[in-house]
Amino acid sequence: MKPAQIESFFATLQAANPMPVTELEYTSVFELLAAVLLSAQATDVGVNKATRKLFPVAGTPQKIIDLGLQGLEGYIKTIGLYRSKAKHLMETCRILVEQHGGQVPRSREALEALPGVGRKTANVVLNSAFGEATMAVDTHIFRMGNRTGLAPGKTPLAVELKLLKRIPAKYLVDAHHWLILHGRYVCQARKPLCVQCSVSDFCDFKPKTA
């Protein structure tokens, strides 16, 4: 994909969705962090179902701690890998209370030091909560970076760094959301909906014809 095509690609996505947001439901930076931590290898729909019950009861690190591990597990047991996620979230809450005054830190280093928080999760929080131009490469963005020719790479980090370099600065803050949503609903893994795709003219992928 050439630079002029990249410009048109994102201008088209922006025109269709000027203010994209994550589909995870949250009302605070901590709730966003918790939701993203719980979303690994799970759907946003499934996470939202659990957090709609959890967050009204325990929407702060201290209230999660007060629930206790078994109490927390009871709220998130419908989410895959819930036992390990509960342990990570509980330990993260303890660190937030003990080291950060109950607040979510704004630095990548501090975020990635939290249990269960990797580079992708940190990027989501930095982008969605703090408005930083980061790129959280999930399975959708990794697929689209390679399939479209936007940012081919063999690892999520390689795709992330190439996207940050190739996407025009004016689109960077929102690009992460546009790519996830497009990958989730249009540029799907098994069968991309190229006929319905608004940016197919700028894409390197050529669907097979019958």
**CB 12 within 8 Å of CB 201:** no
The tally of CA atoms less than 13 A away on the side-chain side of residue 208 is 3
DSSP secondary structure letter of residue 196 = G
User: Catalytic site residue 120?
Assistant: yes
Is 138 catalytic? The answer is yes
Is the Cα dihedral 76, 37, 178, 194 positive or negative? negative
Name the catalytic one among 63, 120, 162, 208: 120
Backbone angles phi, psi at 73, to 5 degrees: -60, -35
CA–CA distance, 79 with 82 (Å, rounded to integer): 5
**Residue from 66, 85, 138, 204 carrying the catalytic annotation:** 138
Catalytic residue list: 120, 138
